Chains A and B, each alone.
Chain A
Amino acid sequence: NAGVTQTPKFQVLKTGQSMTLQCAQDMNHEYMSWYRQDPGMGLRLIHYSVGAGITDQGEVPNGYNVSRSTTEDFPLRLLSAAPSQTSVYFCASSSPRNTEAFFGQGTRLTVV
């Protein structure tokens, strides 16, 4: 099982550029979410989805868009990158039952 796969692993963007971080899971999980992790901090929730076609905002949604057209995929879009978005991004998935989340290996994004 691949679990949760994130691409790319590393990315450098210039301020104002746009890009999409990809996330795919093969566990048929209904719930998927995106987090960012900044140095010395825990993970902060950006956006989440409880199923195909349903998304909602987390703690720090500004500057990010998401959509969920299939159960498997949950891409995160940065419309106009800013240096404050330099971070490590993690995607996670889980089932509707009261269970743990499975995380991808992360995307390290630097905005210059």
Chain B
Amino acid sequence: SQQGEEDPQALSIQEGENATMNCSYKTSINNLQWYRQNSGRGLVHLILIRSNEREKHSGRLRVTLDTSKKSSSLLITASRAADTASYFCATGSGGYNKLIFGAGTRLAVHP
């Protein structure tokens, strides 16, 4: 079974709007990571937040982590058409930091 579950499954917004995606997980983690996948391509790492961190920023991305609720959110501000992709959260746990992925959120940003 998958560790992370993203919500919503699909999101459609206009350029310039903000996009928020949520991820919930079940067990203790070392870190939580967000990846992006363009159609038919490999995954690209966006941002990593460690279990002892609560918020992290990278450019237009803002990630929060609430370990008490076992949840995370990814905010993309001022969305662009080029942000259209699927976004996956992945939890890293154990000594190997094994990554377990959620089913993803499909984001469509319309010009």
Contact = CB atoms under 8 A, between A and B. Distances in A.
Contacts of A45: 98-100
Interface stretch (B11-19, B37-45, B73-81): B37-45
Interface residues of B, number: 27
B25 interface: no
Given A48-B96, A104-B42, A98 B101 contact: no
Q: Is the interface of B mostly helix, strand, loop or mixed?
A: strand
A31 interface: yes
A14 B5 CA distance: 34
B48 interface: yes
A93 B50 CA distance: 19
B87 to A, nearest CB: 11
A103 B44 contact: yes
Interface residues of A, number: 27
A48 B104 contact: no
Interface string B42-69: 1111001010000000000000000000
A89 to B, nearest CB: 11
Interface in A10-50: 31, 33, 35, 40-45, 48, 50
B2 A44 contact: yes
Q: Which of B41, B42, B100, B101 has the most CB of A within 10 A?
A: B42
B97 A42 contact: no
Nearest to A94: B97
Contacts of B4: 42
B103 A103 contact: no
A105 B35 CA distance: 14
